[in-house]
Amino acid sequence: MKFQDQVCSLELAQKLKELGAKQDSLFYYVPSDVLGYTIQLYAEARQSSAEKSLVFSAYTVAELGTMLPQTITAETITKAYPPPTQEDRDDEEFEYILDEYRDQMSSLFKDIEYQELDDFDDGMKYDIKLDYQTGTTIRYWQETDDWECNWSVFEVSGDTEADCRATMLCYLIENKLVTI
């Protein structure tokens, strides 16, 4: 296996830095006059004269694995995406707001359209858990009280396991499901 397959791509490293990921890794992408970017060990990267804003953590598979939560609690999801309340709204206005909320949840959670959307009107009811499908596909899934209703919440794939994990981490950060 190539060394480059053990770390996330430069593009994902840049995106993670942009999203606020702590730049603390064993390896770094450092600009090079000849090659564009090279991957260097932490000690070498620290001695580099490169502009720090152009240096990016080249997270390893293991480092990304520690950054991905094993479980995202129902409370975390409901806090990030609180369901609307009736309050002082008339029924028509509330139904419109509720439909918008359902659309938002449907776009966030892959298989929600196959479930009863009414189940989410009070927020997420179950935790979601990390599951590694293959080396290049991972997903979060929800285990319900009824085993026949277990379903994949969201799933990503990548060219390498490192890219797959980095892509999932970006998705979670962008959708307020994890903070780093």
pLDDT (tens digit per residue) in 27-83: 999 998 887 899 989 888 778 777 888 999 999 999 999 999 999 888 888 888 888
Strand partners, 136: none
180 assigned to some structural domain: no
Do residue 158 and residue 127 come from a single domain?
A: yes
Residue 33 is which amino acid?
A: D
What is the number of structural domains in the chain?
2
- CB contact at 8 A, 142 and 154: no
Same domain, 50 and 71: no
CA angle 171, 164, 33 (to 5 degrees): 100
pTM: 0.84
Say if residue 24 is in the same domain as residue 72: no
Same domain for 74 and 10: no
Report the half-sphere exposure of 85 (CA within 13 A, side-chain side). 4
Q: Parallel, antiparallel, or unpaired for β 128-134 and 71-72?
A: antiparallel
Q: Which domain holds residue 111?
A: 67-174
The DSSP-derived string for 15-69 is: HHHHTT-----SEEEEEETTTEEEEEEHHHHHH--S-GGG-EE--BHHHHHHHS-
Whether residue 82 is contained in a domain is answered as yes
Same domain for 102 and 54, yes or no, is no
Residues 116 and 50 in one domain: no
151: DSSP letter:
E
User: What residue type is assigned to position 62 of the chain?
Assistant: A
Residue 45 lies in a domain: yes
- The tokens for 31 are 């600009």
Q: State whether 83 and 101 are in the same domain.
A: yes
Residues counted in the chain: 180
Are both 16 and 72 inside the same structural domain? no
**More confident position, 136 or 29:** 29
**Residue at 179 is within a domain:** no
